[in-house]
A = this chain, B = another copy of it.
Amino acid sequence: MRDEFRADLHIVSQLLVDMAEGIRSAMRQATKALLTADRQAAETVVERDAEIDELYRHVEERVCDLLARQAPVASDLRAMITALHVAADLERMGDLAEHVAKTALRRHPSPAVPAELRTIFTDMAGIADRMAEKIGSVLAKPDADLAAELDRDDDAMDDLHKNLFSVLLGDDWPYGVETAIDATLLGRFYERFADHAVNAGEHVVYLITGETASPSN
Contact = CB atoms under 8 A, between A and B. Distances in A.
A81 interface: yes
Contacts of A74: 68
Interface in A160-205: 165, 168-169, 173, 176-178, 180-181, 184-185, 188
Interface in A54-70: 56-57, 60, 63-64, 67-68
Contacts of A176: 177
Interface in A31-67: 53, 56-57, 60, 63-64, 67
A64 B92 contact: no
Classify the interface of chain A: helix, strand, loop or mixed. helix
Interface residues of A, number: 36
A96 B70 CA distance: 37
23 contacts: A57-B215, A60-B81, A63-B81, A64-B77, A64-B81, A67-B77, A68-B73, A68-B77, A71-B71, A81-B84, A84-B84, A88-B88, A91-B216, A92-B216, A95-B216, A165-B181, A173-B177, A176-B177, A180-B181, A181-B184, A184-B184, A185-B188, A188-B188
Interface of A: 53, 56-57, 60, 63-64, 67-68, 71, 73-74, 77-78, 81, 84-85, 88, 91-92, 95, 165, 168-169, 173, 176-178, 180-181, 184-185, 188, 214-217
